[in-house]
Chain A
Amino acid sequence: MKTMLYFPFIALTMTRIVWAEEKAASAAHATADAITDQEFIARRNASRKNLPAPTHLPPQKSKFSLMNLSTFVGDGEHFAILPQGSVLYCPEPLATRILASPGGKLISFQEFLSRNRQWITHADVTSDQVSGKTPISDATLKAFEKNAQIVIATYQGAPITVLKGKSTASVPQP
């Protein structure tokens, strides 16, 4: 909210009095003309001890960026952000629902599940399954195939990566 006010002179005087203490502490300052670009550049060069100005480079690409570590699932109108590797099962006819890039309006994972419960669900996994130490059982995978829904791995209710293959790390229990 903007707070732009047009005060009478008295208010201006009061405000300047408030700043008087700060002014006393900086007696070396006086009214100055606003700096020009040339003056500023000279001052900045001097502060760099006349070393060359830094170059301007494209943004740094991060291995841990949202795009790199995410999978997107969409219903044509909305999409949800999922951790990479959280899709436990996706039937072939629904493969187009897994998006390479976001499309539509972002909604939360919970809301997306609620809106599209006919074709997407979630399955809680254990910490050993998350780390890949214990694979998802064949029986569980068969159940996924039978239901013919996209299945998202969740841990304590929120989507999580499930590593494929055995990892030497063990996930401690909370």
Chain B
Amino acid sequence: MKSLVLFIFTAGLLVQSAAAVDFIRQVQLIEDQTIVYDTPVAWETGEIRSQPVFGTGAIFQLYAYNDPAYSPYSILDAQAGSILSANVSLDSHLVDLDLLGIHLDITLGSDSTEDSLPNLVYEKTVGAYLPEATVTLSSEDTYVPIRTRADQPYGVSVAISRLPDADADVPETAPTSVRLAKSYKLYHPTLHVPSDNGSGQGVYGGAYELSRNGTFSIPTVYQELPAESPTRAIGEETHFVQVAVGPDKALATIGSATIQIWPVAVAKIEGIPEPAKFTGIPANLTMEVTDPYPQSQTYAQIYKGEPELGRSGAVITSSIIVLNDYAPPSEPVKLPLLDLDSLIDDDGIYTIEIVTVTPFNGGEPERIAYTSFELDRSVKVRSLATTLNP
């Protein structure tokens, strides 16, 4: 078995402080045994020296904590999907393992809660006779880390290389196919993170077996999170490629990518009486928006007439919500609809709509709630005239 030697110049990533608890685990696969070596990680970016890669190959795992003290929305940057890229040169017997770009949005070495273990944030398997896989996801929302909305499709592309040809001279144990599968994690509806105890997580049935090198694309994939209301699903999906290693054919991940899924916003307008009739300019109307998309503008508009999709009205300036964030607000946003007297002229039927503009629907508004009411100020005037007459 050829041995592969891996050298990365170490620079500043090894632990300087005894407090760091995040680490990279190197799992060396040798015949039917494993050698495990843990290297502490103390910095957010940098390089790390691995131990030599030999035997069947090595699995590199990054374990880290999400630190709630830093932000309830801390996760790894999407670049984490490329923190481990391996180029194997069989001629030189060198594996160029690039651990640069570990962009961690968490404070490393953070305190852990009792009895809790760090999360497996990323895993990559490399070896002389192991194939390589790169999984790339795409969304209409160009935010990093990649995300989409629960009702929107996203694209999946899987590039496979180094699977041996039928006549290649490789050991019998060298894998000749890879397995493409998908897993999911539901998030807490307001904390927007996966459960600590692993609930709400699983894999989807129906994995694919790929036995040829090349790039395979699925341009339109819809989320399949097990949510009661599919358009209100919150969580993430991970597409991963695995290969069977060792005599017991244990599955090891050679590539993966994760996309976050945020719900479609819902909204309501409150303060409209039943029947929907006012004898004066409405003064106590409010709107409530739940889960506006993290990058969005949401506002209420008013126009005279019955509801008409696509019609532009006057924006009620007290209602404007502009978001450019990692996740939706954890609480519904409730705002008053003020100064309607400057937007209403004559009596008649008026419609108030709540619309939202996001990276989806081509950047065009989407109507998430609407209601109509009648303004009839003449009713009050007739009453006054009646009482004045003896």
Residues of A within 8 A of B (CB): 1-9, 11-12, 15-16, 19, 22-23, 25-26, 28-37, 40-41, 43-44, 47, 53-60, 62-67, 69-70, 81-86, 102-111, 114, 130-131, 155, 158-161, 163, 167-174
What distance in Å separates the Cβ of A171 from its nearest Cβ neighbour in chain B?
6
Asked if A160 contacts B202 (CB within 8 A), the reply is no
Asked if A47 contacts B222 (CB within 8 A), the reply is yes
Asked if B37 contacts A32 (CB within 8 A), the reply is no
State which of A32, A53, A64 has its C-beta within 8 Å of the C-beta of B59.
A64
Is B153 located at the chain interface by the 8 A CB criterion? Answer: yes
Asked if B363 contacts A7 (CB within 8 A), the reply is no
Residues of B within 8 A of A (CB): 1, 3, 5, 7, 15, 18-21, 23, 25, 27, 30-31, 33-40, 49, 51-52, 54-55, 59, 61, 63, 71, 109, 111-118, 120, 123, 150-151, 153, 181-184, 198, 201-206, 220-222, 224, 226, 229-231, 248, 250-252, 264-266, 297, 299, 309-310, 315, 317-318, 320-325, 329, 333, 335, 355-357, 361-368
Q: Which residues of A contact B1 (CB under 8 A)?
A: 169
Query: What is the CA–CA distance of A129 and B63 in the complex, to the nearest angstrom?
Result: 27
State which of B54, B202, B322 has its C-beta within 8 Å of the C-beta of A6.
B322
Query: What is the CA–CA distance of A130 and B45 in the complex, to the nearest angstrom?
Result: 30
State which of B54, B116, B315 has its C-beta within 8 Å of the C-beta of A169.
B54
Asked if A108 contacts B15 (CB within 8 A), the reply is yes
Q: Considering only CB atoms, which chain B residue lies closest to A155 in the complex?
A: B37
Known A26-B363, A34-B265, A66-B117; judge A174-B54 contact (CB<8 A).
Answer: no
Q: Which residues of A contact B120 (CB under 8 A)?
A: 65-66
Asked if B264 contacts A35 (CB within 8 A), the reply is yes
Asked if B198 contacts A59 (CB within 8 A), the reply is yes
Asked if B363 contacts A22 (CB within 8 A), the reply is yes
Query: What is the CA–CA distance of A108 and B17 in the complex, to the nearest angstrom?
Result: 9
Query: Top 9 nearest A-B pairs by Cβ distance?
Result: A29-B362, A26-B362, A83-B36, A55-B205, A63-B250, A111-B18, A54-B204, A31-B310, A44-B222
Query: What is the CA–CA distance of A59 and B186 in the complex, to the nearest angstrom?
Result: 12
Asked if B248 contacts A35 (CB within 8 A), the reply is no
Known A64-B27, A106-B112, A108-B21; judge A161-B34 contact (CB<8 A).
Answer: yes
Given contacts A25-B362, A110-B40, 10 further A-B contacts (CB under 8 A): A23-B363, A33-B309, A58-B203, A60-B183, A63-B251, A64-B34, A64-B61, A65-B120, A66-B63, A85-B35
Query: What is the CA–CA distance of A5 and B109 in the complex, to the nearest angstrom?
Result: 33
Asked if A44 contacts B325 (CB within 8 A), the reply is no
Query: What is the CA–CA distance of A69 and B27 in the complex, to the nearest angstrom?
Result: 9
What distance in Å separates the Cβ of B309 from its nearest Cβ neighbour in chain A?
6
Asked if B117 contacts A34 (CB within 8 A), the reply is no
Asked if A37 contacts B222 (CB within 8 A), the reply is no
What distance in Å separates the Cβ of B35 from its nearest Cβ neighbour in chain A?
5
Q: Which residues of B contact A167 (CB under 8 A)?
A: 30-31, 33
Known A6-B320, A62-B251; judge A108-B115 contact (CB<8 A).
Answer: no
